[in-house]
Structure 1
Amino acid sequence: MSSSDEFCIDKLCIDEINQMFPTKALYETHYFQPKTRVEMRMIKASALIRSAPEWAEQLNDESKRQEWTTQVKDDLKLTDMEVVYVFRELKYYARLKANGVDGEELAAIDGVWINNATSDSDLADEFKNNAAVLENDFAQVHSGEASAASSTGFRALVDPFMYPLMTKESLILTKPIGSPEDALNPELPRVKPESLEDWHKTINDINEHKSNNGYIGDKRKLPRVIRQYLSGLLHEFYGCWLPTNFDVCEDGTVTIRSYINNLHPTRYAALYQTISKVFAKLMPLLEQVATDMIHLRASRAVFNRDELFAPGMLKPYAIAEMVRQGVPLPEEYHKFVANSDAYAYERSWHDINIVKGVELDMTELENAYKEAEVYTEPAPQHFCPSNRPIKPYSMRGLPLQASVEMSSINLTPENPTHPEGEWQAVGRPEERVFAVGLYFYDVENIASPKLKFRDPVSRSLFYDPNDFYDFCASHDIVSVLDPYHSCVYTQEVGEVEIKNGSYVCYPNYYQTKMPLFELADPTRPGHVKYIAFNIVDPMYKLVSTELVPPQQPGWTDATSSPEATAEAIKNMERLKSSHFRSSRDESRFRPKLHTGDY
């Protein structure tokens, strides 16, 4: 397919995606090349200019361009070459903006799309009113409870960890349901597979009688995730989230085809209708994200180990060799020595200190090395638009799946802050989450709420072990300890400001966290309320609430068992623990993309 042909495509074709990614799917997509300091400066400059109202219309205004040039040179220290690159890139972004939905923009982070200009106040009011019913019910059920979550004001209104899919425990319907309300019928035939073999056979038998409408070959077969991952990862206990089926119609409207796990379909029927409208509003952003993932952009300024240092410059590892060989160190050695973390894997400094008896103040050496700024920054590449189509691929007409969660953070003058969250990726491998869509439906009296992003970095990208610290310094890469006490590496790539009514959609190769929240006016209460859609890779069809009947006590009968509820909470904590281990710090949920070397 030629680049000219791609600009005419307006329909996402699963076959074409499969051809582009013959060995992996969208959810495995990742930016393998971290960003240099130069590239991060240019991204910040671009975002600074795009934060101005009507920036696209002012690009051809010479006086405005000169004003922006002066600003980014003074504030961000951009060179002339970097400024030229930024303005060429902005012209490309202006084309994307002109061909997109009103208000949608590429954020200050590659691949992240936002819409802060959606002016559908009726939908916002409708969502707040319908969500208020859920919030009131939640408050009544949990009134009087004292917990860490309640003391910080966090409420998980719809929690996908509750009543998940549990192998050998969850029941399976012998026929898929046709609507969320159908799931409440206690007469629906169901079976309980007693083993993994029975589980596989049951799912396959149901799939053979299921219509193939909307599915593309083997890529859309229902049990693929079961065959590929369940026996390897879930054979002992682990469960996984239960996604909901969403049908995206050709006219852009969305229909919810199965119940949302932990959201009663009749009690909150009005909220179901509103959620479908919000999902439809997110679709243009999701299409942009998916298109970006298929056409990953090139780096703006590339790390080149041959040009990183001036000729003859003494490198950090040379100092280590001098100590090993007993050669006296030059007086300026402390300006060139890497920190202890950099050599932790090679045990260089450990061996030096013991064998040679040299005492080194690592903190002093690290700070001196950073202050020296001995490396030469790379020049930006020549800007060339990628073969990404200006008009994104359409996902209309495709059946999609997503697990849904709703949360709120409520602050008061008595509890005016919410602590900073932990870095996390969304989901485990078997959940196949390729993108996350967020709608912040009610944000009030919170001081500068933001969502931060970072990317794991593979040690295999360091080219040569001797270039490790050089590479980290030129990219602002930091090392952290994962739960298994391995040293791993990450790069913070930016943040998105959260506004009332913001829509945000991002690829799930990023890790995110919410920083400290605090009241803007400490005398009044404030809150951040949002709904999240953890969207399954469209090339896969997972076991969903279409096939698993409600597991919540009282949904299909009039009784509620305290024992069943206690068991569900126990399972929830165990499942959260497994997710936490797989997503914390650097550890990606995709085994092949772990940044540590295992």
Structure 2
Amino acid sequence: MTIYDPDFYPHPLDSEGFLPAYCWRDKYLRAFSLAARSKHNWTEKVLDRTIVAKWFRKAERADNGNNGRYVLSWHKNDVQFVYEELLAYRKFVLEMREQGHKLEPHIDCVWKADGAIPEELRQALIKAVATLENVPEEKRDWHPGSKKQVLNLVHPSMWPLVYDASVDVTTGEEIEVEEGVEEWDMDIFDLKAREGWSNRFCWLPSEFEVSEDGKNTTIRSYVNNLSSLNQQELFYPILERIFTIFVPLFNCVLADLHQHRHECSKTKGPIGYAEPEDFLTREQHDEKFEEMMGQFERREELTVDFNQLGKRPCYKHSECMETGADCGKVDYSLQEYQLYPSREQGSLSMSEIWSPPVIKEEDQLEGRTLKVIVKMANIVLTPENPSYTGGSWHVEAMLNERIVSTGIYYYAQENITESELGFRRTFQYLFESETWTAAHDLDSGEGRMVQEIGRIVATEGRIIAFPNVYQHQVQPFELVDKTKPGYRKILVFFLCEPHETHNMPTTQTVAPQQPYDREQVLELLRQSKIGQLPEEIFQLIVEKLPPVISQELAEEYRRQLIAERSVFNKESQMVQGRTYSLYETDLGSSTL
């Protein structure tokens, strides 16, 4: 396995995994755009400036508090920028619809499509999955620690590749940890990245071959934990069709990563907040903001400049009031309650407006054989256990698998409140000052260097694809009717690094390790000409087959694998972010 190749897509556990921080202005522009594009029929509503002006008024009220203080938000440049960007999104989405595609961009590098999976295919998946669900209770695989809420149907942590135990069928030898990993040159590679590897386990991907025209996918090697002949016949045609529909979304994610859009900021600066010289009162601001909204609704040039309207603060304004003197200034004592300081929010360039990704040949999955890991799971709620408290922030797998993108199909749900998937990113802490943390909407004392960047609603029938450079977390939800059970069901495709030099083991080289698969193989051998050989010769042949892993040992391996990866996700700076503290002389102690 190649440890690193400059052509690889970004991975969260690479040593350069920390991204630039979003400043406050950047964050409220992104939040507004996402909220607008999440509204029903937004492509039509965005053309009605009266409606959009209402959105701006609501956003201004929500966005005037930054890091515990009132700040001036929503300048004329902000309004112009985000509206032009919404029109750019609209143009792309409508063009896609005209071409028969339903994909839409969400936050940067995250893509979604509603209703892209035909209903007959969704029903076929539901019917097939029922064969995995309808088993005796003692055979149900409740995820460890989930309080019987997460039901694993197909999970890659069961019967994974076990280094020094799993056998390569092409050589007959046990698969060892890569020498390059064990002997990592610390002078070249960062210690943090080294700890992104497992010396014990690796999920086993299948080989998915996508046709040149992208209209078909063929599963060329078995899906781990879904490998019996009956399961292959039932599930693989369904999975192949669904994965084919995911390909355009994965292409967009890869193109976004190739263009480093996960690193891009819409604003430049600021380094920090300087103490403001001028202030606006709430009355002044509201009057001028309404004037600007009127200009926007009438499609006029926006001329209101808040930075030119402020006045100097008067620190002894009560004395001025007593003497009746008109100092021409504003009362500084009201700063925290009524005044909007005129602060530098960072420069904004129209060149940073969103544009469709340029999907180059190297980003296209058509005509390639891919390494894909499949997972299926249900979250099940009952009147006795009616609330799901949410998952942990994590990235998928480790550098062994090098998953670059995740695709999720929310194919069925019943009697649950709105469910969301949250995203966040680690960032670089550049300046150890309170003004820098204030400008980036961070706690002024100490904290983790992570920023939440948005959420996506997990509506039934929706498919999404997102990069693994973002951490993600399932948000809490609960039963709507507490007297009835409810559920949410997902199908997941983990896309491993598609570059050809990422030659990790797959199910093409590792035979099924499940005992029930071995029983099926033996039955087939008995029915073949090999079964007609003398018994002692038949047994000699059977002894040459790769070893299987018992159910008990597989569960123990899973426990160890989950523990290893849970600890890593919990303690890794590249997942949880470095710590910063304004109370110390450094950036805080290492968590690795």
TM-score by length of 2: 0.70
* In the alignment, structure 1 residue 514 sits paired with structure 2 residue 499: no
Distance 1:512 1:140 in 2: 31
- Asked if 1:577 corresponds to 2:563, the answer is yes
2-side partners of 1:50 and 1:591: how far apart? 29
What aligned pairs does 1:517-528 form with structure 2 within 5 A after superposition?
517-528=477-488
Q: For 1:429, give the aligned amino acid.
A: L
- 1:218-229 counterparts in 2 under 5 A? none
Match of 2:226 among 263, 267, 271: 263
**2:21 maps to which of 26, 29, 34:** 34
For structure 1, which segment, 557-566 or 434-443, has the greater mean C-alpha deviation from structure 2 after superposition? Answer: 557-566
Q: Does 1:376 align with 2:376?
A: no
Residue of structure 1 aligned with 2:243, choices 265, 279, 304: 279
Q: Secondary structure at the match of 1:427?
A: coil
Aligned length: 469
Letter in 2 for 1:378: Q
Q: Is the 8 A contact 1:439 1:532 kept in 2?
A: yes
Structure 1 position 264, deviation (Å): 2.4
Asked whether the equivalents of residues 124 and 238 of structure 2 are also in contact (C-alpha less than 8 Å), the reply is: yes
Residue 384 of structure 2 is aligned to residue 420 of structure 1? no
The Cα of 1:581 is off from its aligned counterpart by: 2.2
Distance 1:593 1:509 in 2: 19
Displacement of 1:457 after TM fit? 2.1
Q: Select the residue among 396, 406, 416 that pairs with 2:366.
A: 396
1:300 to 260, 266, 277: 266
How far, CA to CA, are the matches of 2:120 and 2:417 in structure 1? 26
1:290 corresponds in structure 2 to 254
| 1:285 partner letter | L
Could you say what secondary structure the match of 2:491 adopts? strand
SS at match of 2:156: coil
2:162 alignment partner, SS class: coil
Give the drift of 1:146: 11
Question: Do 2:255 and 2:357's aligned partners in 1 also have CA atoms closer than 8 Å?
Answer: no
Q: Distance in 1 between matches of 2:518 and 2:210?
A: 28
In structure 2, C-alpha distance between the alignment counterparts of 1:409 and 1:480, rounded to whole Å: 38
2:486 maps to a residue whose letter is G
Rounded to whole Å, the distance in 2 between the matches of 1:538 and 1:370 is: 54
Aligned residue number for residue 358 of structure 1: none
Q: Structure 1: how far apart are the matches of 2:472 and 2:91?
A: 28
Residue 48 (structure 1) aligned with residue 8 (structure 2): no
Q: Kindly indicate whether the alpha-carbon contact (under 8 Å) linking 1:403 and 1:534 is maintained by their aligned counterparts in 2.
A: yes
Amino acid in the other structure paired with 2:399: P
Q: Is the 8 A contact 2:110 2:465 kept in 1?
A: yes
Residues 432 and 536 in structure 1, CA contact (< 8 A), matched pair in contact too: yes
CA distance in structure 2 between the partners assigned to 1:56 and 1:146 by the alignment: 41
User: Residue deviations 1:123-153, cap 9 Å, x none?
Assistant: 111111111111113746139x89743x342
Alignment equivalent of 1:556, drawn from 508, 518, 527:
518
Distance 1:435 1:169 in 2: 28
Q: Compute the displacement of 1:404 (Å).
A: 1.3
Q: How far did 1:575 drift?
A: 1.3
Counterpart mapping for 1:349-388 below 5 A: 376=343, 378-384=345-351
> Amino acid of the residue matched to residue 533 of structure 1?
F
Kept in 2: contact 1:416–1:518 (CA 8 A): yes
Give the distance between the partners of 2:82 and 2:409, measured in 1 at CA: 30
For residue 304 of structure 1, what is the amino acid of its counterpart? P
Matched with 1:245 is: 207
3-state DSSP of counterpart to 2:42: coil
What is the alpha-carbon distance in structure 2 between the residues aligned to residue 234 and residue 305 of structure 1?
Answer: 32
Question: Residue 574 of structure 2: which of 588, 592, 598 is its match?
Answer: 588
CA contact (8 A) 2:207 2:221 kept: yes
* Residue deviations 1:237-271 (CA, integer Å, cap 9, x gap): 52111111111112321111111111124231212
Offset at 1:491? Answer: 1.0
Q: 1:280-312 CA distances to partner (integer Å, 9 max, x unpaired)?
A: 121111111111111234312233226544379
- 1:119 and 1:236 mapped to 2: Cα distance? 36
Structure 1 residues 138 and 37: alpha-carbon distance in aligned structure 2, compared to 1, 3 A threshold: farther
1:443 alignment counterpart: 413
Q: Distance in 1 between matches of 2:6 and 2:420?
A: 37
Measured at CA, do residues 267 and 24 of structure 1 come closer, stay the same or move farther in structure 2, by a change above 3 Å?
closer
Matched with 1:126 is 124
The alpha carbon displacement at 1:525 in A equals 1.3
* SS of residue in 2 equivalent to 1:451: strand
Give the corresponding residue for 1:102: 101
Cα shift at 1:82:
1.2
The one-letter amino acid paired with 1:38 is R
Give the Cα–Cα distance (whole angstroms) in 1 for the partners of residues 512 and 36 of structure 2: 49
Q: Does residue 191 of the first structure (1) align with residue 172 of the second (2)?
A: yes
Q: Tell me the TM-score normalized by structure 1.
A: 0.69
Deviations for 1:75-114, whole angstroms, at most 9, x for unmatched residues? 545333211110111122123323436332112x221111
Cα deviation for residue 454 of structure 1 reads: 1.2
Question: Aligned residue for 1:25?
Answer: 9
Look up the equivalent residue of 2:441 and give its one-letter code: D
Moved more, 122-131 or 251-260: 251-260
1:193 deviation in Å? Answer: 3.1
Counterpart Cα distance in 1 of 2:428 and 2:399: 18
| Cα distance in 2 for residues equivalent to 1:503 and 1:292 | 18
Q: Distance between the aligned counterparts of 2:210 and 2:175, measured in 1?
A: 35
Distance 1:375 1:430 in 2: 50
Answer yes or no: is the 8 Å Cα contact 1:418–1:516 preserved in 2.
yes
Work out the CA distance in 2 between the residues paired with 1:579 and 1:389: 35
Deviation at 1:370, TM superposition (A): 13
CA distance, structure 2, for counterparts of residue 280 and residue 271 of structure 1: 14
1:138–1:369 Cα change, 3 Å: farther
| 1:470 has 2:457 as partner | no
Any conservation in 1 of the 2:427–2:449 contact (CA below 8 Å)? yes
Contact 1:448 1:498 in 2 (8 A): yes
Q: Distance in 2 between matches of 1:510 and 1:402?
A: 19
Post-superposition Cα deviations, 1:396-445, rounded to whole Å, max 9, x if no partner, equal 11211121111101111122112221111111111111111001111111
Equivalent position of 1:495 in the other structure:
455
Flag the 1:478–1:573 CA change in 2: closer, same or farther, 3 A: farther
Secondary structure of the structure 1 residue equivalent to 2:379: strand
Q: Amino acid of the residue matched to residue 471 of structure 1?
A: W
Question: Cα offset for 1:161?
Answer: 0.9
What is the SS of the residue equivalent to 1:430?
A: coil
Compute the displacement of 1:235 (Å). Answer: 10
CA gap 1:591/1:165 in 2 versus in 1, 3 angstroms: farther
**8 Å contact from structure 2 (residues 450, 577) kept in 1:** no
Q: Take 1:567 and 1:437, find their aligned partners in 2: how far apart are those partners?
A: 30
**Distance in structure 1 (CA, Å) of the matches to 2:394 and 2:113:** 23
Select which of 543, 551, 564 maps to 1:565. 551
Against the structure 1 CA distance between its residues 371 and 289, is the aligned structure 2 distance closer, same or farther, given a 3 Å change threshold? farther
Contact 1:452–1:496 under 8 Å retained in 2: yes
Residue 423 (structure 2) aligned to one of 453, 465, 469: 453
Higher-Rg member (1/2): 2
- Encode CA deviations 1:540-593: one digit per residue, 9 max, x unaligned: 232111101111112122699998222221111111122112222663379999
